Chain A
Amino acid sequence: MSRLFANLRQLFRYRVLIQSLVGRELKARYRGTVLGFFWSFFNPFLLMVVYTAVFGLILQPRDANFMGKPLVYALFLFTGLLPWQWFVASTLESSTVLMTNGNLLKKILFPAEVLPVVTVTANMVHFLFGLPILFILIPLLGGHFSFYMLFLPVVIFVQYVYCLSFSLLISALTVHFRDIRDILGNLMTFWFFATPVIYSMNLPQIQKYAALRTLLNLNPMTHIIGGYHSALYYGELIHWKKLGVTFLVSLVFFALGYAVFDRLRDSFPEEV
């Protein structure tokens, strides 16, 4: 435990480095594209259009709340997709981040954990870039603003810790087991459908089966996405208890992920 705090202190000392690497990541990502930074806004928007077309118009949601209301459904989708993208992108990128930056680990004295932290943070910034689009869409798609939106930073913070814990664990393990990268791709698809993003927890089919409900409730992403839905879509108080437990679980994951990372740290320069 004291090791964890020592590491965190060290990480704090590297904040300028993290900050500039995040900046570099953001600058480099769309360098050379015509639309540049605007892709940060367009990407989630286009994704929403695709999902609305498929799940809203073609398949037609069975949920009574969305039936015949594709615009409302689009808003619901977008509210969940945006943070989901953050989680997926940071997890998938973390699985390769140590290898692609192997040169840093091998050739200069470099705190390895900075790399997954940068990955998660850069993707969070992308997520934040998507929020203005969401705020523009809320009135257009029939949503409404409420002061419960002020709880948004709380949800973002919980997700940040959760994404970090996952990224630390995945990035360290993938160095030794490259298979994880491939497993992750499929796992993420499964996970997406196991999280209420394209459907809501209120769906009668889910409420009917206790086992299914329990399963979904065990998924921390359920409560994080739920938090976004509460704050942005429903305009209600976030579910403190569920989110609080999720946060505690995230903290435990974080300590665990960091411990694994720390344990494997010395092997990185030779294995990446």
Chain B
Amino acid sequence: MHAIELDHVSRVYQKYSARHRFQTFKSAIVRGDLFRSIKADELVSAVDDVTLQVEEGSTLGLIGRNGSGKSTLLKLVAGIAKPTAGTLVVRGKISALIELGAGFHPEISGRENVFINGIMLGLSKKEITSKFDEIVRFADLEQFIDAPVKTYSSGMFMRLGFSIAINVNPDVLLVDEILAVGDAAFIPKCLDRIDDFRRRRKTILFVSHDLSMVGKICDKVAWMKDGRLRMLGEPKRVIDAYLQDVAEKQEEDFQGKQDAAAAAPTAAAEGAREQRWGKREIEIRKVVLRGLGGEEKHVFSPDEGMVIELDVAAREPQKDFVFGIGIFNSLGTLCYGTNTDLEDIIPESIRDEGKVVCRIDKLGLINGTYYLDVAVHKRDGYPFDYHKNLYSFLVSSTKRDEGVSRLPHRWEFGPNIGIKTAGK
């Protein structure tokens, strides 16, 4: 049995709402466009031909970039927005945690707001009376419940809203990225409640950007892209595919930024003067970052390898030279630096053009932006060509470890310690 069924559901919005098109009577009358038909190029599909079923008692995660249609989809399921095309069936009572405390009135007390909000969400007065203490206790607002809601902090506001909504006891729970405001003590409580729902075989539709949480609590994950359902399936697979897509996008952005820098030569050259020095008896003409497969890239995962490729040229033959690299994080901390001299590689000769490649088998860095120094100099430190911070790359990871590098490691547990890994 499916709790939620979407059959070719689309929702089209006008790019400029009618309010913008004829904001005033005057414009409507003067331009005579009151009943102008809407042209196709003024329409945006927020949700485009989505077919989707959610099994009763299962938890479906919705992921995707901002503006990909997740929230619109949620609103369609909640009945707040109507589909432009397609059919949508929801079985059972819905409670939507789209915006918490949406109906609160600031001037009246928390107590009165609990009643009114509860009624708005479909509870009867009797039900609220019987659940009132639990709602207040869960929100942890016993002392403040008789104060006007306008005196609440945003966290208190949200807690009360969540507490009411979760006590509606729905068959289908819609959750839209709402746990962002809660403090460290409240979020686990919310997750507990959501877990509790799962145990009681309620259907949950969960929108979040917290991929590790999605991986943890969802049975299935749907990835939305540009209003379309891009992928639906087992959480780990979908999340990985999504991350891959995000990485590709980052790569594109990065490329765009670099191109823009190249297209603005004055600014770049000025910056370059400061960041590059040396008489260039040996010159580093080009630096390329590649994956181990040889493809040029700028976004890496921590487990990936990286190849730093230097195109060098010597104006005249040299006997004393050292090639070096340094990787700095965004705080300017040196994460790793080495050169050929430190590794006891003895230079003999260099002439004309050549390639120097530094191959890192596994990057082992944590999330973040990194800057790369490359240099060629004499063993006594006299610089031929020094590039400071001229190159950068991103490391994108789902792990949230900290420090300057990710040491290769593995966790092991004795027989009496039970664990569960995220993503199943």
Chain A residues within 8 Å of B, Cβ to Cβ: 16-17, 20-21, 24, 27-28, 31-32, 103-110, 176-179, 266-267, 269-271
Closest A-B pairs by Cβ, 5 of them? A107-B102, A107-B99, A28-B107, A31-B107, A179-B25
Which B positions have Cβ atoms within 8 angstroms of A? 13, 17-19, 23-26, 28, 75, 78-82, 94, 96, 98-99, 102-103, 105, 107-108, 112, 115-116, 119-121, 124-125, 148
B79 contacts across to A, CB distance below 8 A? 109
Q: Which residues of A contact B105 (CB under 8 A)?
A: 24, 28
Contacts of B120 in A (CB 8 A): 17, 104, 108, 110
A108 and B107 contact, CB distance less than 8 A: no
User: Is A107 in contact with B116, judged by CB distance below 8 angstroms?
Assistant: no
Residue in B75, B116, B124 whose CB lies within 8 Å of A21: B116
Residue pair B94, A109 in contact (C-beta under 8 Å): yes
Q: Are A271 and B108 in contact (CB under 8 A)?
A: no
Q: Residues of B contacting A32 with CB < 8 Å?
A: 107
Whole-angstrom distance between the Cβ of A256 and the nearest chain B Cβ: 19
Given A28-B107, A108-B103, A271-B17, 15 new contacts (CB under 8 A): A16-B124, A24-B112, A28-B108, A103-B99, A107-B102, A108-B80, A108-B102, A109-B80, A110-B120, A176-B18, A177-B25, A179-B24, A267-B18, A270-B13, A271-B18
Q: Are A104 and B17 in contact (CB under 8 A)?
A: no
A270: which B residues are within 8 A, CB to CB? 13, 17, 81
CA distance A108 to B116 in the complex (A): 13
Q: Is the CB of B119 within 8 A of A16?
A: yes
Residues of chain B with a CB closer than 8 A to A104's CB: 102-103, 120
Can you list 9 A-B pairs, Cβ within 8 angstroms, ordered by A?
A16-B124, A24-B105, A103-B102, A108-B80, A108-B103, A108-B120, A177-B24, A267-B18, A271-B17
> Contact at A176–B24, with CB atoms within 8 Å?
no
In angstroms, Cα B24 to Cα A270, docked, is: 17
- In the complex, which residue of chain A has the Cβ closest to the Cβ of B103? A104
Cα of A32 to Cα of B109 in the assembled complex, Å: 12
A266 and B13 form a contact (CB under 8 A): no
Give the complex CA separation of A24 and B125 in angstroms.
Answer: 15
Given A104-B102, A269-B81, A271-B18, does the pair A20, B115 have CB atoms closer than 8 Å? Answer: yes
Q: Kindly provide the distance from the CB of A189 to the nearest chain B CB, expressed in whole angstroms.
A: 19
Q: Which residues of A contact B17 (CB under 8 A)?
A: 270-271
**Complexed CA–CA distance, A179 and B22 (Å):** 11
Say whether, besides A16-B124, A16-B125, A20-B116, A176 and B19 are in contact (CB < 8 Å). yes
Chain A residues with Cβ under 8 A from B125's Cβ? Answer: 16
A27 touching B25 by the CB < 8 A rule?
Answer: no
Tell me the nearest residue of chain B to A103, going by C-beta.
B102
In contact, B24 and A108 (Cβ under 8 angstroms): no
Q: How far, in whole Å, are A66 and B35 apart by their CA atoms in the complex? A: 52
Task: Determine if B112 and A27 form an interchain contact, defined as CB atoms under 8 angstroms apart.
Answer: yes
Check A108–B18 contact: CB distance below 8 A: no
Please, which residue of chain B has its CB at the minimum distance from the CB of A176? B18
CA distance A28 to B108 in the complex (A): 6
Q: Which of A105, A106, A107, A269 has the most CB of B within 10 A?
A: A107
Report the separation of the CA atoms of residues A31 and B151 in the bound assembly, to the nearest whole angstrom: 14
Do A178 and B19 have beta carbons less than 8 Å apart? yes
In the complex, what distance in Å separates the CA atom of A48 from the CA atom of B13?
A: 50
Are B18 and A27 in contact, CB atoms less than 8 angstroms apart? Answer: no
- Least Cβ–Cβ distance between A118 and chain B, in angstroms: 11
CB distance from B377 to the nearest CB of A (A): 62
Complex: A236 Cα to B82 Cα, angstroms: 53
